[in-house]
Amino acid sequence: MDETYTGPKLESADEINGEWVAKMMDYMSYQKIVHKRYAAMIIIRCRDIFEKDASLVNIKVPEDHEITVCGDIHGQFYDLLNIFKINGNPSETNPYLFNGDFIDRGSFSVEVVLTLLAWKAAYPKHMFMSRGNHESKNLNKLYGFEGEVKKKYDVKMYDLFSELFCNLPIGHCIN
């Protein structure tokens, strides 16, 4: 690993927790890129989680609790940070559902999707993500995600993201 990397580090994906994700978000807020090694760890961990999910995921929210539902972040990382600032970070007591279209159009799609995936790795039963029409190779090429990933990382990372997107559930049913 490059010795100049000053961002958050992991020994294994099992170490991903809320504190680590908060550090990662802060690091990326200065327009710094998480090291490829850690980005790949997050993607692979979440791919393994999503592979076990059904295409339609049932979410149980107790009557006296809430879930925050968001959609169409479209690479707007600073909007995502603002959502978490207003509503709080995902946790066991603060679940979220993101209904696809995390990427494309905005300049920070990599940061958005890595943030969402890191929260999923930290709280797999309290962070939910559905596949939108932008989580596909055709739209990734047309709207910029493919180019962004290749610029910030490389084609192998793009292939990892593409594989992960194929494993995302297509819908969720709350209660």
Complete domains list, the chain, with CATH = 16-174 (3.60.21.10)
- The per-residue pLDDT for 142 is 64
- Average pLDDT for 115-127: 98
Lowest mean pLDDT among 2-6, 40-44, 135-139, 157-161: 135-139
Computed over every residue of the chain, the mean pLDDT equals 93
Specify the pLDDT at position 102.
Answer: 92
Tokens at 51, concatenated: 């592979």
**172 is an active site residue:** no
> Would you place residue 3 in the very low, low, confident or very high pLDDT band (cuts 50, 70, 90)?
confident
What per-residue confidence (pLDDT) applies to 133? 77
Average pLDDT estimate for 118-143: 86
CA–CA separation, 105 vs 74, rounded Å? Answer: 6
Find the mean pLDDT for residues 58-68: 95
| Secondary structure, 3-state, the chain | CCCCCCCCCCCCHHHCCHHHHHHHHHHHHCCCCCCHHHHHHHHHHHHHHHHHCCCEEEECCCCCCCCEEECCCCCCHHHHHHHHHHHCCCECCECEEEECCCCCCCCCHHHHHHHHHHHHHHCCCCEEEECCCCCCHHHHHHHCHHHHHHHHCCHHHHHHHHHHHHHCCCEEEEC
* pLDDT tens-digit map of 25-48: 999 999 999 999 999 999 999 999
pLDDT range class, residue 66, cuts 50, 70, 90: very high
Phi and psi angles of residue 18, each rounded to the nearest 5 degrees, phi first: -60, -40
pLDDT at 18 over 70: yes
Nearest to 119 by CA among 8, 17, 15, 50: 17
Predicted confidence (pLDDT) at residue 98 exceeds the cutoff of 70 = yes
Which one, of 111, 117, 97, 100, lies nearest residue 48 by Cα?
Answer: 117
According to the model, what pLDDT value does residue 143 have?
A: 63
Q: Of 35, 74, 126, 134, which one is the catalytic site residue?
A: 134
Arithmetic mean of pLDDT, 80-94: 97
* Stated pTM of the model: 0.95
Q: How far is CA 113 from CA 60, 96, 100, 106, 162, in A?
A: 24, 14, 10, 12, 12
Give the residue with greater pLDDT, 13 vs 133: 13
